[in-house]
Amino acid sequence: MIITKTFKMAELIHDNFELLSVLRKFNIPLGFSEKTVDEVCAEHRINTDFFLEIVNSFNDSEYFPQNKMRAHDVEDILFYLRNTHKIYLNKKVPEIADLIEKLEFPKDHEKNKALLKNFFNEYRQEFILHIQREEERIYPYITALSDALRNYKTDAAFYNNIQQYVIADYQKEHEDVEEKLYDLKNIIIKYLPVPENAETYNAILIKLFKLEKDLNEHSRIEENVIIPKVSEMENVFFEAVKDGKMLIV
């Protein structure tokens, strides 16, 4: 079933409560009364079509209209991806770290907690660096490129940058942050003895599965929407430079 703009927003959540996480990424609060998807999006100045593509692709892993997604303003896509980063760093990752802290292994197995903590902390550091690089280098580069194409004007610093680093370089460097989560889940599922508070242990595992699914979604947008879109924008930029239409000041 494909969700359309005339659906009631409240019904979306009744049908799949996991969409709550998508709403958070769009900064849409609850309290919809009888409003439709289109009405709620308009109220929050969100592009309804982009919202529907994200919601539908979250609902159904087979659904991923990458060409339609690429047609949206790059800033709309980056807004969504930046909010997703914030949720990972401020909420999802600290929640897992807190739960690991609460694990209680029997006295002679306490080293298992340290092992899990170390593995997770290493992952956390890599993950933070991954996000920082995107937030501090890649996304600002995309915004500068988008501004240049909008105004047919850019500065020498950006022109210098784009000659040395294009989105294809990012594509090569873009690590798979999901793979390590799989290893972490495996340590828990296969190898470690169960701690005394098994409920907390399961809660960690469930959160890891959810984070992995969410990251797959996120990376899929970066790799199949953002990268090809920016690559096309770069071609337009270089054409404009060649034709003397891009003012470099």
Report the candidate in 62, 63, 78 with the shortest Cα–Cα distance to residue 25.
78
Phi-psi region of 229 (alpha: psi -120 to 50; beta: other; left: phi over 0): alpha
Binding mask 205-234 for Fe ion (x = CB under 5 A): -----------------x------------
How far apart are the C-alpha atoms of 156 and 45, rounded to whole Å? 34
Residue pair 37/6 in contact (Cβ under 8 Å)? The answer is: yes
CB-nearer residue toward Fe ion: 64 or 159: 64
The angle, 0 to 180 degrees and rounded to 10, between the axes of the packed helices 139-151 and 227-242 is: 40
By CB under 5 A, which span of 11-19, 109-117, 126-134, 205-213 interacts with Fe ion? 126-134
Return the bridge partners of 247, or none: 153
Q: What is the CA radius of gyration of the chain?
A: 21
CB of 165 to Fe ion, least distance (A): 16
Residue pair 156/248 in contact (Cβ under 8 Å)? The answer is: yes
Report the candidate in 171, 180, 84 with the shortest Cα–Cα distance to residue 127.
180
> What would the two tokens of residue 8 be?
């009631």
CB-nearer residue toward Fe ion: 53 or 134: 134
CB of 226 to Fe ion, least distance (A): 9
CB of 66 to Fe ion, least distance (A): 16
Residue pair 66/225 in contact (Cβ under 8 Å)? The answer is: yes
CB of 146 to Fe ion, least distance (A): 17
CB-nearer residue toward Fe ion: 222 or 234: 222
CB-nearer residue toward Fe ion: 134 or 212: 134
User: Residues 6 or more apart from 196 whose CB is under 8 A from it?
Assistant: 104, 105, 106
CB-nearer residue toward Fe ion: 126 or 196: 126
Binding mask 167-206 for Fe ion (x = CB under 5 A): ----------------------------------------
Task: Report which DSSP code applies to 47.
Answer: -
CB of 179 to Fe ion, least distance (A): 13
Residue pair 216/181 in contact (Cβ under 8 Å)? The answer is: no
Q: How many residues bind Fe ion (CB under 5 A)?
A: 2
CB-nearer residue toward Fe ion: 152 or 165: 165
CB of 216 to Fe ion, least distance (A): 11
Q: Which of residues 130-169 bind Fe ion (CB under 5 A)?
A: 134
CB of 65 to Fe ion, least distance (A): 20
CB-nearer residue toward Fe ion: 134 or 217: 134
Interaction site with Fe ion (CB under 5 A): 134, 222
